[in-house]
Structure 1
Amino acid sequence: MKDIGFSHLDWNLLRSFVTIAQSSSITDAAQRLCLTQPAVSGSLKRLEEQVGYRLIERSSTMFELTEAGRALLGEALEITATVSRLPASLGEAEKVLSGDATIVLASHVESPDFDAALATFHQRHPQVRLTLQVEASREGLAMVAAKRADMGVCVVGDSNNMQLDYTLLFQEHFGLYCGPTHPLFGREGLSVSDLEGFSSVGYLAESSNRALHELTALRQRCGLNPDLVGRSHNLEEIKRMVIAGFGIGPLPVHVVERDCAAGRLWRLPPYESTPQAGVYFVTQPAPLRSRIAEELHRIFTEQVETRPPEDRVYGRSVL
């Protein structure tokens, strides 16, 4: 890369570039930065003029870093890491961990490992004020990438994004369910063909989250009506609509076991080869983590490593 005179480089442009590089489009970056699309495009153009290289190839069908863009991103991430370490270097970091932390998580995460890690974190660091914020997984990942959250617990379809650190928390299987007023409720010996033509509800993220694509395929496999009568990002609201009789809906098997036992839900076929999704805890890469994020990552990693991955698979076929 050319000598671009770092003493004259606009650091705000560099910080914006990191977010742009971690986004899927200028529009996506503008949303993360809370700026207009022209403002983000303008900042990228000014940075490219300063460094003397085109950093991102962009068109209506393409948005990817150039070789120079990848090189600059690596440098920018190192600079960000250095800045994040300044308080410790200047002796401002205290021995006792305190402050505010945010974990953003998908709705109704049910995991003994999550609960145990959370308890351990609080026991070790009672002075940290923790916020648990429920968001769609896509938004959760964006918040972690933009450092608006210290950790995410998200349903992830592609964990190969090297700009974030992914660790599998658990794997959950989905089943199809209906509520007490549905014609199939309480009926034994049903087959997949018995579901054909019935209305269904589903998740707003099915089209954008690879981990949930299998739910759409399951709906097609069973011949359910493809026009959803209800949708939500929130698992609890999907369950609410199923119980209310809107239609058949996919729910994590281990999450709704108590509802089935209480007569609020009825499990429908298929019972084998059911869709599954991985739930991961996600942080910034190690060099970029805050002290609190690093401690969250360490405690959660210690917890999941107490059990092998096969013991963290929930809702596998039992019928």
Structure 2
Amino acid sequence: MLVTSSIVKEDGSVELQQMRYVIAVAETSSFTRAAERCLVVQSALSHQIARLERELGAKLFERTSRRVRLTQAGAAFLPAARQCVDAAERASAEVAGVVGEVRGRLVIGLISTVAAVDLPGVLRDFRQRYPSVRINLRAGASEELIEQVKQGTVEAAFLGLPTTARPDGVNARELARDRLVAVVAPDHPLAAESAVSLRRLSTEVFVDLPARTAGRIQSDQAFAAAGLSRDVAFEVTNAYLTSRLVEQGLAVAMLPSAYAPQLTGVTTIQVTDAPTRVEHVIWSRAELTPAAKAFLALLDIQGKGTGSHA
């Protein structure tokens, strides 16, 4: 790494708070927003980063009137800074866990259509029991979340996968299976139907997840197995945008039946030969933080790195 050999001050260390400031600026691309996140005035944050840059002998950020971005040195510094901050926070949380206090940070990944678990309800209970834990929710595609759990940047995640796919390299528990339903605008010709086939749907324009994502594959496989093709004119990354495009009559969609009741402004229709989606919760095979163990315990999952595999 370009700068790790020189990540030292005169006393032999870089302050953790300076690292937190660098991480915040890198993630927000703004000194102003980074200062707001870190609950400090911008001048103090800027001063500490400038001081760190002098000590390192390298600029970490390129600053213009329009944007802030990492330099080559900054890009090299950032992963090590994250590791140091994460290690310090984990060490503090582990010590607290020994004396019976669960604190620290919990990073949870989820797809936008998670329905097998009442996640807001679980988080409400978790928050009541462990108010010192700071929770970070990250939405993403199932395959991305699996990689993030493997890498340790996400501690637990909720996925939706086709029946042909299994989470690999992580601990996993199957939560539920659910068939997809068609979602159309209220004034769509199909809205009055009680059920529809894939063949009939294949004549419609679709909005769906991006190609080759797990959520898209389950529908693509179903149409292909029936010898059908379809026109996916719109690709989006979350269910809210999907439903809004459907509401405007721009396309139809297929979404999990357990999730569909949350939608407004659209009509759902049963699909006679619909594909099935499997929801999983996954967690790392490495030792978990006390916060992650406590969260999984609320789901009745032991979560000690040796859970069941889907």
Please tell me the TM-score bracket, short chain as reference. 0.5 to 0.7
Tell me the SS of whatever aligns to 1:118: helix
Q: Is the 8 A contact 1:107 1:235 kept in 2?
A: yes
**CA, structure 1 residues 172+92, in 2 after alignment: closer, same or farther (shift >3 Å)?**
closer
AA partner of residue 248 (structure 1):
V
Cα separation, partners in 2 of 1:181 and 1:123, compared to 1, 3 Å: same
Q: CA deviation at 1:282?
A: 1.1
Q: What is the CA distance between 1:227 and its match in structure 2?
A: 2.9
* Cα drift, residue 152 of structure 1: 1.0
Q: Confirm or deny: 8 A CA contact 2:181 2:268 kept in the other structure.
A: no
Does the 8 Å contact 1:201/1:228 carry over to 2?
Answer: yes
Once the two structures are superposed, the pairs formed by residues 61-140 of structure 1 within 5 Å of their partners are: 93-140=98-145
Residue from 183, 186, 202 that aligns with 1:180: 186
The answer (yes or no) to whether the contact 1:87–1:93 under 8 Å persists in 2 is no
Q: Is the 8 A contact 1:102 1:149 kept in 2?
A: yes
Q: Any gaps of 5 or more consecutive residues in structure 2?
A: 1-69, 73-87, 303-310
Matches within 5 A, 1:25-36: none
Query: Secondary structure of 2:281's match?
Result: strand
Q: State the partner residue of 1:30.
A: none
Q: 2:269 aligns with which of 267, 270, 290?
A: 267
Kindly tell me: are residues 125 and 89 of structure 1, through their superposed partners in 2, closer, same or farther at Cα, counting changes over 3 Å? Answer: closer
Root-mean-square deviation (CA, aligned residues, Å) is 3.8
Identity of aligned residues (%): 19
TM-score normalised per structure 2? 0.58
Normalization by structure 1: what TM-score? Answer: 0.57
Deviations along 1:107-147, whole A, 9 cap, x unmatched?
13234554443333222212111122211222212221111
Structure 1 residues 92 and 234, CA, compared in 2 at 3 Å: closer, same or farther?
closer
Q: What is the total number of aligned residue pairs between the two structures?
A: 220
Q: Determine if contact 2:218/2:275 at 8 Å carries over to the other structure.
A: yes
Residue 171 of structure 1: how far off its partner (Å): 2.0
Question: 2:300 maps to which residue?
Answer: 301
Return the offset for 1:292: 1.7
Maintained 8 Å contact 2:171/2:283: yes
Structure-2 change in CA distance of 1:180 and 1:224 (3 Å): farther
One-letter code aligned to 1:282: I
Distance 1:109 1:180 in 2: 24
Q: What is the distance in 2 between the residues matched to 1:92 and 1:177?
A: 46
Deviations 1:268-292 (A, max 9, x none): 5x33x4211111111112x521222
Question: Contact 2:93/2:289 (CA < 8 Å) preserved in 1?
Answer: no
